[in-house]
Structure formats: structure tokens, C-alpha cells
Amino acid sequence: MSYLVLARKYRPQTFADLVGQEHVSRALTNALTSGRVAHAFIFTGARGVGKTSSARIMAKALNCEQGTSPEPCNVCSACREITEGNAVDVLEIDGASNTGVDDVRELRDTIRYLPARGRYKIVIIDEVHMLSTNAFNALLKTLEEPPPHVKFIFATTEPHKLPITILSRCQRYDFKRISLKKIVARLEDIVRRENISVTESALTMVARKGDGSMRDSLSTLDQVLAFCGDNVLDEDVTNLLGVVDRRLLLETSEAIFAHDAAGVLDAVRRVDAFGYSMRQFCQELIEEFRALAILKAVKQPGELLDLADAELALLREQVAPLTLDDLQRQISLLIKAESEMSLSSFPRLVLEMVLIRAATMAPVIPIGDLLERLRTLEQGLRSGEVVTGQAPRRETAPVSPSRPTASASVAPPRPPPSAVSSEIPSQSPPPAAGNSSGNSSDPWSGFVTYVKEKKARIGAFLEHGHPLGISASKVEVGFPADSFYYSSLSEPDAVATLTSLAREHFGGTPELKLVKLTEAGGNLPPTVHEKKKLHSIESVKQAEDNLKKHPLVAAAVEIFGGKLELEKKANSQ
């Protein structure tokens, strides 16, 4: 005798056997009990949730030799024939193979005749959405006013593809995806009948592989039994199905929450060693973090989470010390990484980087705490005191020596936010070297400034020259070898202009000499450009030191627990 797979062997034979579809069972049972049975039904839902099985149970309930009843006897010849699929009065049609209008015309001709044995001729069309538009149109009139001895039952996984004219002529019943707990309970009952030793965790993996479909779960269980025999081990199920071990997911999440970068990298190594898909592992990790976030947000998740009791208890223990904001940030990282992995040639690298980032991510400071710290700082500024966020005591902020004493007497009772910046020393440096206001001790800088006022282009070139000798009788300037500035100033027009400006500035008739420096000398006088650069660096450094030492800045850094970073503006010179 040939082997009968579990999905057929344990197919529901009564409405009471339907798992996870109690709402449909109750409606059809009441309709049969009260005699209010419609002439056409549409059963919709995902694959393997009981649509065709319900259609056969309905056919048996209507044609049972014991009488119309919500509980068919399953022993009479009519029930047995329907169960075996060879009943004369029950026409099971595959909508995918009989899509044309000629098939519907043949069906209409067939249903005119009275049933051969039973009370009704029952037409079951599976995947009815595959019928063509002309076939649907040919069925409309018959479907609306069928002979009294005919019942239509349509099954489909895609009801949105059905014409509204068909939907309006039928009673629609939506079959739900079966929950994980109910599938596991059903599988436990089946393995007990089969005298097979299987752990609950192994059955949970099988049920999760089924993804809400009882038929898929039973087919997977058949595959596991063929591989493992009568003694099923968790490791065998994991290796056979290629699913991610839940323990590995828990260990990975624990490493993330413990800020253990080495631990998450080791988890990725194990994923690669086991041969799991990196993207599949990331998707499973997203599902676990989703469960953690729901447990943190809702104390009693109910049907929001499709998890076994043992796994739910572990997640509750893990989520206790966590915050919802941190979980949401980590979920966002994982979702972005999963999307990138589908396009990347290095999925392992993408996963490693996102897990390292999730493990090293700094905790979120609640916005309420930040606002409270801002209020504390504002109150301290208003009262002349600086209040830190770490200690309840108040410390008087020392008054800056450069701050005018008169400003305190005219200060408004509540300064605007911009008042903070007015008390912090300015970062802008004092006037750079080379300005005409302070050149009495530096004749070369004064001369360069004078030239820039008269001829800006020549003055800009002259800033890069080393003053080798500056006096009323001689102006000697050196430039590096192959220098652009030297070649530009050596032109006759530039030389004549410089000579004229030197005579105007120094008086007399100084001799202008441009020297080409073939070697970089260590004792050359600095150029004006070098002086400006050095002065700018020193000014910025001094401003930074003043900022870091200022009591208001120090208080703000302590309150917000951060560090001071100064924005460097681009040099416009």
C-alpha cells in the first residue's frame, strides 16, 4: 500500500476538526442547523488554511445519507465518496485548468440535471480567480439563479482578482492564517498518534516554517520524519530546514544589549559557518527585535506575537532592562541593513557593520530630561548662577574680567537665549599681521599693505616673498625656485610698478631686486603670508582655550554630558 502523506491522512473531516477557523465553522454550522444555506459561497484565504477541506465538509453535510446536518457521519457511502474525491454529485474543478468560456458552458449543461444519488449537485471550483473574464460573464446568470439542487463553492487565494459581479452573488468567508500555537498543538496531537518522539522546540521550528499554513506545516513535518525517523532531534531539524537557530538569535541580541562587539562578530561567523543566509538571519533578527519592542510597549501582547510560551518567557526576561527608544533605533538600523544586503555583493560585511553599530550605539537621552536640563541652565543664567545637572547644589559662576560691570545693572529680568552667546568670548581673531594700523615696527609688512592698497594683484604675490633686505636704498625680496610669484613679478611691467611704489612708500630712490632662491634656507625671514597663517592659528587656539575655560561652557558640557566641538570657518584670505 502506498504511503499517505500526513496532510491527506489528517485532513479535517468535520467542522470541529478545522484548526484556527472557528469563525467559519460557527457560521456554516449555524447555517446548516437553521436551514439557511446559501446557493453560492466564496472561501478566501492563504494557502493551506482549510478552504478546500471546508468545501468538502460542506458537501458531506449537505449530502450525508443520515440527513442534512453540520456533523456528517463520515461512514455512509456518500461521505466516503466525497472524502475519497470520487463522488458523482460533487464536481471539483481546477480553475487554473478550466479557464475558458467553453468550460463554463459545459458546466451549465451538466448542472441542469438532477443529482444522481445525493440531495444536491455541488460545484467546487478551486483557484476560481484564474477563470477568464468571458468565463465569469458566462457564469453570472447561472450563479445568480441556479437550479434549486445546485450549490456553488468557490475557493481562491486572491479574491481581489474576482469581478465584483461574482462577489456580490456569493457569501464570502475569509479564512485566517493559523497561529503558531495552534499549529504546534495540532502537530503535537499528530506525532502522539504516530508514536514519534519530537520536542516542542522542533515542532515550533516546523510550524514557523509553515508560515501560518497547516498543510505546509504537515508537509514539512513529513519531510522531517523522512529524514530523522521516529526520534527527531532539534539539531537535525535545524540542519534539514536551514532555519536560523533561535538560540543564536537570542545570543546575538544579548551581545548587542551588552555592547559586546566581539560577541556580535562571533555570531556572524557562526551564521556563515552554519551556511545560513545572511539576509535570512537579518530578517529573523528583525522579527525578534519586533517582538521585543511589542513586549516593551504592551504588557499583554495577546495575538500580536506568534510565539511559543517558552520563547515568550525568554524574551520577557531579556526586554526588562531595555528602553523602547533604543529598540526602535536598532530596528531601524537592521531594516536598512536588510535592504542594503539585497543589493550588496558583501552581505556579511553589511551585517557585521550594522551589528557593530547597534552594539556600540550610545543610549538615547529622553527629550524630557534635555528640556529639564535646559530649564535648569536658563534659571542659572537668569539668577547669575550655573547649575550643573549632576549635583543639586548651586555654584556661583565667576564673572569674566572683561565683562563691563555696568551691563549687570541694565540687564533685563529674563534674558533671551541669545544672552548666552554674548557672555562667551568671541572666536574671531584680532586683525591679522600686515594691516596698515600696526606696521610701524615692521617696514616689510607696511610696504606689502601699501602695495595691496594700490595694486591688489601685485600685493598678493608680494605676500609670498621673503624680505632679504628692506631699507630706503634697497628693497631685496627672495622667492623659491620656479615660483609662480617670482615669474609674475619679474615681468617688466610688474618691476616698474613695484619700483615706483617703493619710491612712493620709502622715499628716495631705492633699488628693487628680486632674488631667486635655489635652496630652501632655514633662517629666511618669514613672509607676510606665513605671519598671517601663524597669527590666525594662535588666535583660534587662544579663543578655543578661552571657550573651554569659560564657566558657562563648562556647565553646559557637564549638564548635557557631551564634549565641546568648535566649528572651523574657512579662511577667506
The CATH number assigned to the domain holding 455 equals 3.30.300.180
Final residue of a domain: which of 308, 329, 360?
360
- Burial label, 537 (beta-carbon count in 10 A; 0-12, 13-18, 19+): exposed
Query: Which pLDDT value is given to residue 511?
Result: 80
The CATH number assigned to the domain holding 260 equals 1.20.272.10
82 and 197 both lie in a single domain: no
Return the half-sphere exposure (C-beta side, CA atoms, 13 A cut-off) of residue 524.
Answer: 22
91 and 168 both lie in a single domain: yes
Q: What are phi and psi of 119, to 5 degrees?
A: -80, -35
Query: Which pLDDT value is given to residue 569?
Result: 56
CB distance 364 to 323 below 8 Å: yes
For the sheet containing 511-517, what is the strand order? 466-470, 474-480, 511-517
Q: How far apart are the first and last CA of the chain?
A: 95
Q: Is residue 397 part of a domain?
A: no
Q: Is residue 298 part of a domain?
A: yes
Mean pLDDT, consecutive 10-residue stretches, the chain (573 aa), reads 84 90 93 92 93 93 88 90 89 86 89 89 92 90 90 93 92 92 92 90 88 91 89 84 80 91 92 86 91 88 78 85 88 92 90 92 74 77 56 41 39 43 44 41 82 83 82 82 78 83 81 75 77 82 77 72 64 44
Give dist(CA 503, CA 462) in Å, integer: 16
97 and 211 both lie in a single domain: no
333 and 453 both lie in a single domain: no
Query: Which pLDDT value is given to residue 346?
Result: 92
144 and 26 both lie in a single domain: yes
Final residue of a domain: which of 145, 174, 203?
174
Q: Is residue 560 part of a domain?
A: no
Q: How many domains does the chain have?
A: 4
Q: Is residue 216 part of a domain?
A: yes
23 and 100 both lie in a single domain: yes
Q: Which domain holds residue 440?
A: 436-531
218 and 315 both lie in a single domain: no
Q: Is residue 552 part of a domain?
A: no
- Output the nine-digit C-alpha cell for 61: 453535510
Final residue of a domain: which of 325, 343, 360?
360
Query: Which pLDDT value is given to residue 161?
Result: 92
CB distance 295 to 307 below 8 Å: no
- Which position has the grid cell 471539483? 92
Q: Is residue 411 part of a domain?
A: no
280 and 295 both lie in a single domain: yes
133 and 18 both lie in a single domain: yes
128 and 190 both lie in a single domain: no
Give dist(CA 475, CA 471) in Å, integer: 6
The CATH number assigned to the domain holding 68 equals 3.40.50.300
Q: Is residue 384 part of a domain?
A: no
- Output the nine-digit C-alpha cell for 528: 607676510
Give dist(CA 440, CA 507) in Å, integer: 16
Q: Is residue 51 part of a domain?
A: yes
134 and 217 both lie in a single domain: no
* Cα angle 381, 384, 386; round to 5: 60
459 and 475 both lie in a single domain: yes
* DSSP symbols for 95-145: TTT--SHHHHHHHHHHHTSPPSSSS-EEEEEETGGGS-HHHHHHHHHHHHS
The CATH number assigned to the domain holding 196 equals 1.10.8.60
Query: Which pLDDT value is given to residue 90?
Result: 92
